[in-house]
């Protein structure tokens, strides 16, 4: 027997109608809460889910609309589960961040694109955010010369290794390339560097990296090279003797993606801000990351579009005085 619940508006809400919607709500909650349990053995399905995990919130919205249309009490009650799971995972990112004048450092991360037709305009836009550090990827000649010339007045210190570089208002020392080249990639592939920034809050080891791209195909997510490179980068960070570390880069993965676990298990990620950065036309995910050790990435945000297919991200770093002391 179907029990009807009559609301104050006189409309009937079915107690058992909408069981399919309720089941979908429970499934969505399970995917949010236990996404690590989704196996990666076939097509890296788990990583594919985690790359777009926040977008499961749209599924909740759709189920809410359908539940209201069907006047299903059971579906609406079941929706409390995915709402709670999504809020637990992502709700904190929307809370107000620290005041900008409390940041120890402001950093910008940007994959400028090797097809960028306006490197000078891109450089001016990034400098306009007045960061202490600017990390760039996909630096290729002759655009590299333009970035160097345009950024030089405000950023007298810079280091470039391969196709990645770091521009700084503070002195840089002990710079070296990072060996994060996966097996099978030919010699000359250099997309990582490590340097030490002499900041007013003490020495900070800065890492700039551009991990291999991932692709979606008929066999699923192709991320083996990215994952291998992330593991190499994670080992380098683990071996770093300078206490405070900041990692900036196009990591071709979100912080929820288990492929970046060698990094996210060792480094803090942004406490506030969503900052979806790719692709520029319709950002679906933040694959441009700022992470830290012995410091806090207090807030991350996107900057206006440049000539790249990525949006720049800017982050405020706090806690460096505690690391130094």
Q: How confident is the model at residue 3 (pLDDT cuts 50, 70, 90)?
A: very low
Residue 83 and residue 24: Cα distance in Å, rounded? 13
Terminal C-alpha separation, the chain: 69
Q: Identify the CATH number of the domain defined by range 100-324.
A: 3.60.10.10
Helix (H, G, I), strand (E, B) or coil at 171: coil
Strands (DSSP E) along the chain, which ranges?
4-6, 12-14, 105-111, 133-137, 157-161, 164-168, 172-177, 192-199, 202-210, 215-217, 220-222, 245-250, 288-293, 296-302, 313-318
Q: How confident is the model at residue 6 (pLDDT cuts 50, 70, 90)?
A: low
Tens-digit pLDDT profile for residues 212-235: 999 887 677 889 999 999 999 999
Report the DSSP pairing between strands 192-199 and 172-177.
antiparallel
pLDDT at 100 over 80: no
The per-residue pLDDT of the chain, averaged, comes to 92
- What letters, b where the CB count within 10 A reaches 16 and e where it falls short, cover 131-149? bbbbbbbbbeeebbebbbe
Domain ranges within the chain, ordered by starting residue: 4-94, 100-324
In this prediction, residue 176 carries a pLDDT of: 98
Tens-digit pLDDT profile for residues 161-217: 999 999 999 999 999 999 999 998 988 899 999 999 999 999 999 999 999 999 887
The rounded radius of gyration (Å) of the Cα atoms in the chain is 23
Q: Which is more confidently placed, 14 or 38?
A: 38
Q: How confident is the model at residue 1 (pLDDT cuts 50, 70, 90)?
A: very low
Q: How confident is the model at residue 2 (pLDDT cuts 50, 70, 90)?
A: very low
pLDDT at 87 over 90: yes
In this prediction, residue 221 carries a pLDDT of: 83
Question: What whole-number percentage of the chain has pLDDT above 70?
Answer: 93
Residue 39 burial (CB count, 10 A): 10
Residue 207 and residue 306: Cα distance in Å, rounded? 23
């Amino acid at each position: 027997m179907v029990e009807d619940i009559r609301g104050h508006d006189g409309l009937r809400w079915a107690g058992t109608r909408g069981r399919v919607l309720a089941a979908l709500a429970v499934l969505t909650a399970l995917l949010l809460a236990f996404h690590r349990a989704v196996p990666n053995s076939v097509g890296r399905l788990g990583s594919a889910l985690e790359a777009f995990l926040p977008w499961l919130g749209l599924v909740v919205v759709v189920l809410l609309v359908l539940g209201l249309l069907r006047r299903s009490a059971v579906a609406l009650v079941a929706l409390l589960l995915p709402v709670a799971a999504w809020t637990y995972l992502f709700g904190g990112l929307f809370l107000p961040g620290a005041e900008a004048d409390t940041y120890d450092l402001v950093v910008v991360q940007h994959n400028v694109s090797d097809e960028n037709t306006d490197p000078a305009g891109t450089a001016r836009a990034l400098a306009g955010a007045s960061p202490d550090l600017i990390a760039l990827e996909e630096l290729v000649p002759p655009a590299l010369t333009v970035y160097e010339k345009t950024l030089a007045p405000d950023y007298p210190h810079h280091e470039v290794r391969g196709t990645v570089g770091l521009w700084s208002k503070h002195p840089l020392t002990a710079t070296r390339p990072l060996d994060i080249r996966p097996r099978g990639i030919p010699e000359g592939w250099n997309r990582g560097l490590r340097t030490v920034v002499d900041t007013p809050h003490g020495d900070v080891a800065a890492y700039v990296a551009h991990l291999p791209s991932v692709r979606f195909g008929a066999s699923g997510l192709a991320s083996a090279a990215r994952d291998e490179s992330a593991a190499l980068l994670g080992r380098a960070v683990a071996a770093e003797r300078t206490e405070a570390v900041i990692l900036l880069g196009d990591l071709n993965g979100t912080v929820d993606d288990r492929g970046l676990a060698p990094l996210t298990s060792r480094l803090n990620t942004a406490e506030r801000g969503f900052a979806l950065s790719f692709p520029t036309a319709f950002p679906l995910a933040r694959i441009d990351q700022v992470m830290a050790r012995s410091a806090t990435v207090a807030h991350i945000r996107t900057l206006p579009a440049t000539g790249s297919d990525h949006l720049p991200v800017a982050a405020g770093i706090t806690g460096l005085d505690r690391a130094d002391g």
